[in-house]
Structure 1
């Protein structure tokens, strides 16, 4: 079971730091000459003029429809409903995959941890000071109406997104001083000197380029169902708000023969249908109305995938390895509510959740307990700090207050006895709450002002009720006034974006090489009051800010890994987020009508861009 936004390439908040960060490694990304690719630490796996990415399939057939339920989404997108096609602002609920309609200056390689390659631009040139990036656009680049994409469009896009974009787009651009068009084919991004190497990669490779002419008479911030003029491999096709949306492959896509695209995007139509409840979507899959599904409910995976199409081998049920990226699945306790500001309160609430019992009785032992916000990666630390970590901690300690326990083994919550009624954990939780000023008054906890300790867990689907009801019961047994609140998907999106909740769950996969801008979005002081950011708890800690700065300042992978591990130690001790559980696999079921290349890419897995219809298999199933 996942909470939701499990994937994003790096579009997260970014903030200027007081001290300058090192630029991209100029030894491997030399200034003054056009480059076909960039990497944070100089590693590029593809040479100039490469024909296609290794994970692409140039010989695969085109055609058919891919009808699926997306397992990740970006910005203001929602998998349960939609009411706007404007995906790049905070307002409204947009359908997933709108980003596939737009091109970017460069694109990420899904089989490399942090390499990007020229796409809409044919090259990028770095200035000697590392603050100006000059992009030479490809002359063949076209909007879907056939008009040329110009540097004016690039400048408009970055300026507009810096001013009015969704926080995941807006915040990283704080380090961008200006975007200018030198001529029709030359766009320059000018940075203020505080940008990190990793932030440059995010800004160059994952930002949509918008048509300045199309948006000129329109309000960029408006919620609208007018399909935007775009330039990517797909365009918006048929749709019905809140019901379904289709994306049509652009047959004459200007970039279809570029190495960055060749061998991708095989389906003529990508169709997404929207269901407010999981069961309705599952029933549609069983009938074959949906043909690909990732299952996030472990109970269903074990007990419900026994329908006729499985027995008849028309549907394949399979585990795929998760990506080699750090993952985070955790509950956020909103410290904008004063009652959750004391770490001891947050710790006590965490101890009321019995993972061992839940995993055995509700999850069919499908998960492992997560203790880190960077699970399954080299950034998940263990034991006491090693020498490099200790040196960084000591240096930071000269200017910042260090948390108690920073030199001990990395914090992790002790397991329960698995009974669902672990008295030791309850006694510990009560002791923590008493120490924080909450005392029992006839079965209800109150503070010195007589206020009760209220906690509402916000959820967007009834599937979470069975998981969290035992947690609520345990909290209520020690005097916490706990409850669940199920809201519709649009309300959930609005309430979490405006931080109108006590506790809510969040899941995502970080970029393979986490960037300081993404970390600042989730943990930095500068994002604590920015609605729509990932900083759901409202973390505002100068020490955390300083460590994130060190991540961005890393001159090599070893320094980067050291800073990330120290960040992991501090975040575990703070308990702003309560890590929950993790899994090493994707649980996927699909109607046996597809072809795909194995192994899948290590760092990103957009199935709708990689798979294709196997005509022979589809004919056998009657889905040709």
Structure 2
């Protein structure tokens, strides 16, 4: 899974279709037993061994200045609302976004290719004939920020540590790693058992490398505000617990002139302030305390950007194209709760969401209805199953809903009234068929227990979204409610699956890997706290299709496997697809430079953009 996973309201990241089919063998361009500078799952690498910088950066971008930034996405145990630890790599605690900028990785993703990585700490990688052994030659100049060498021993220590004690997003991809050893100070060997997915290594090489020396004397699992020793382009500067952090650029950063770093990480300082309430964060931007933000509330985007700095041109409001990867934003019904295990109940709840009314009344005409967890990509199933899809689905027929073998399921279109009687009647009928009988204002089971559905929220904006949905559910007898909690409770309840209904928006990457898919849908993740399998999906058929996707030897095979998986997920309705936005809605004080067009597979403004001193002086921000 790509490591920028937004967890919250209106958090869609992504747009457009996936890359065209490239029917090549996995790592077809990678010869066996020959050191190479990069890896790509399907097809040739764009950049040759002697490339000097990525095409989407300004290699001559000036260094300096400060960006005060509201992160639009985060990963692992991170949250933008508060923090009580500086270690984002474990499940325990809540940490600040972007602490990953303090660490280097073996390889770095290219943002203009769907699945390519190039050497950062690793100068080269050598792949064995059976694709089970990867040998990395580390750069001799690699250094920790205290000046000591970063060695293969640190890298081997990191992978063994993450497999044993890391956040589930780190530990699960390492499940089939059998050996991580330092052959010598400059040589790391990773050995797998042969059961790993074909794309597994692409997830592993972008994991942060931590210091063995630091975590030999510091408890890795402790919630601590002691900054860990890093090796990356930034270090933690001023930290105000729960309120703000400053990331300071490392002037003598060892890797600043590498091809994968040239033109990136240009700000001297990146400051992140933490707000428990969305309106307070917006007010900080209006005053100039925050200088760059992405807007996820349609009402605010449509009506709130009318303050003086907008009118006189000091603040720019514009849209940037979304990423060319699948979009997933959906509501999970937690089947660890017995009342949601019947698909008829899940379908009844979905019928009560009036997207057409919400689009008009809440979204100011923006957003489109999602039908799939692979929306806006060629992984989204269309029409009837193809012969190739049927070849995967037929052996699983006994474990699949019959609807899987018909037209791909589409969410209903309401009349937009907010109380579509036809759809509510269908929902009530489904509940009756599932054994829920009307008794007064509620439906009850044969023991007299009410059908309850509590929607978990951490923001007033999502309460506004849920409120009409809840009212429709009440109309058909569901004991529906909304529970608004603070950021700490929200993160804890998500991690422990302590909710009935919860929303997730996540980036699973332009080339979804087994690792990203298993955290969301695989039985293996259903009972593991901290994964994104919020519904508690446990299905042998779903597991088998995820395994097929992981074994894909070409993009064509991957598309077929995910088309089949999409049909199954849509029929099961563990996740209720909600809506998506094609573009990034961004606003920023006019003090930055950036290269256009933005890359297709990412929008990390904090590392792509730079401080423009002349612009800043013109608006009084220098």
Q: Distance in 2 between matches of 1:24 and 1:106?
A: 21
- 1:567-582 residue pairs with structure 2 within 5 A? 567-582=565-580
- Alignment partner, residue 137 of structure 2: 136
What is the DSSP-based 3-state SS (H/G/I as helix, E as strand, rest coil) of the residue aligned with 2:319? Answer: strand
Task: Deviation per CA, 1:176-228: give whole Å up to 9, x if none.
Answer: 11100111111101101011221111111x21101101110111000000001
Which residue does 2:167 correspond to in 1? 166
Deviant stretches of 4+, over 4 Å: 4-8
SS in 2 for 1:569: helix
Name the CA shift for 1:246/1:59 in 2 (closer, same or farther; >3 Å): same
Residue pair 1:264, 1:609 contacting (<8 A) in 2 also = yes
Q: Which residue of 1 aligns with 2:72?
A: 71
What secondary structure does 1:116 align onto? strand
Q: Give how far 1:403 is off.
A: 1.6
CA distance in 2, matches of 1:530, 1:267: 38
Contact 1:3 / 1:329 at 8 angstroms: preserved in 2?
no
CA distance in 2 between partners of 1:546 and 1:608 (Å): 39
Aligned CA distance change for structure 1 residues 26 and 572 (closer, same or farther; 3 Å):
closer
Residue of structure 1 in register with 2:420 after alignment = 422
Number of residues paired by the alignment?
607
CA offset digits 1:557-590 (Å, max 9, x no partner):
1111011111111000000001100110111111
Residue 347, structure 1, aligned to residue 353, structure 2 = no
SS in 2 for 1:406: helix
- Determine if the alignment matches structure 1 residue 3 to structure 2 residue 12: no
Q: 1:2 to 1:491 in 2, by over 3 A?
A: closer
Q: Quick one: distance in 2 between partners of 1:130 and 1:586?
A: 38
Report if aligned partners of 2:9, 2:461 keep a CA contact under 8 Å in 1: no
Match of 1:324 in 2: 324
CA separation of 1:270 and 1:595: change in aligned 2, threshold 3 A: same
Q: How does 1:264-413 map to 2 (within 5 A)?
A: 264-397=264-397, 400-413=398-411
Equivalent-residue separation in structure 2 for 1:439 and 1:473 (angstroms):
19
- Tell me the equivalent position of 2:81: 80
CA contact (8 A) 2:11 2:506 kept: yes
Tell me how far 1:483 sits from its aligned partner: 0.5
- Could you say which residue in structure 2 is the equivalent of 1:502? 500
Alignment partner, residue 478 of structure 1: 476
Partner of 2:460: 462
- Partner Cα distance (2:194, 2:466) in 1: 46
Structure 2: give runs of 5+ residues left out of the alignment: 1-6, 15-23
CA distance in 2, matches of 1:85, 1:565: 39
2:4 aligned residue: none
Deviation digits for residues 480-524 of structure 1 (CA, Å, limit 9, x no counterpart): 001010000011000010000000110012110000111011000
SS of aligned partner of 2:399: coil
Instruction: Report the Cα distance in structure 2 between the residues aligned to 1:290 and 1:229, rounded to whole angstroms.
Output: 28
| Contact kept? 2:322, 2:582, Cα under 8 Å | yes
3-state SS of 1:38 partner: strand
Separation in 2 of the partners of 1:90 and 1:25? Answer: 32
Provide the residue aligned with 1:487 in structure 2: 485
Instruction: Identify the residue that residue 20 of structure 2 maps to in structure 1.
Output: none
Question: How do 1:210-225 and structure 2 match up within 5 A?
Answer: 210-225=210-225
* Whole-angstrom distance in 2 between the partners of 1:281 and 1:75: 22
Segments of structure 1 that go 5 or more residues without pairing to the other structure are 9-22
1:256 is displaced (CA, Å) by 0.6
Using the size of structure 2 for normalisation, the TM-score is 0.96
- Residue 241 of structure 2 corresponds to which residue in structure 1? 241
Query: Greater shift after overlay, 26-35 or 611-620?
Result: 26-35
Residue 549 of structure 2 corresponds to: 551
Deviation at 1:378, TM superposition (A): 1.0
- Deviation string 1:257-278 (CA, Å, 9 cap, x unpaired) is 1001011011000000000000
1:441 pairs, out of 435, 439, 442, with 439
Residue pair 2:145, 2:230 contacting (<8 A) in 1 also: yes
With structure 1 as the length reference, what TM-score do the two structures score? 0.96
1:542 corresponds to: 540
- The answer to whether the Cα contact below 8 Å between 1:520 and 1:527 also exists between their aligned partners in 2 is yes
RMSD of aligned Cα (Å): 1.4
**What is the alpha-carbon distance in structure 2 between the residues aligned to residue 102 and residue 582 of structure 1?**
32
* CA distance in 2 between partners of 1:28 and 1:490 (Å): 46
Give runs of aligned pairs for residues 172-191 of structure 1, distance below 5 A: 172-191=173-192
Matched, 1:49 2:50: yes
Q: Distance between the aligned counterparts of 1:421 and 1:36, measured in 2?
A: 58
Shift of 1:393: 2.0
Determine the C-alpha separation between the residues in 2 that align with 1:373 and 1:43: 28
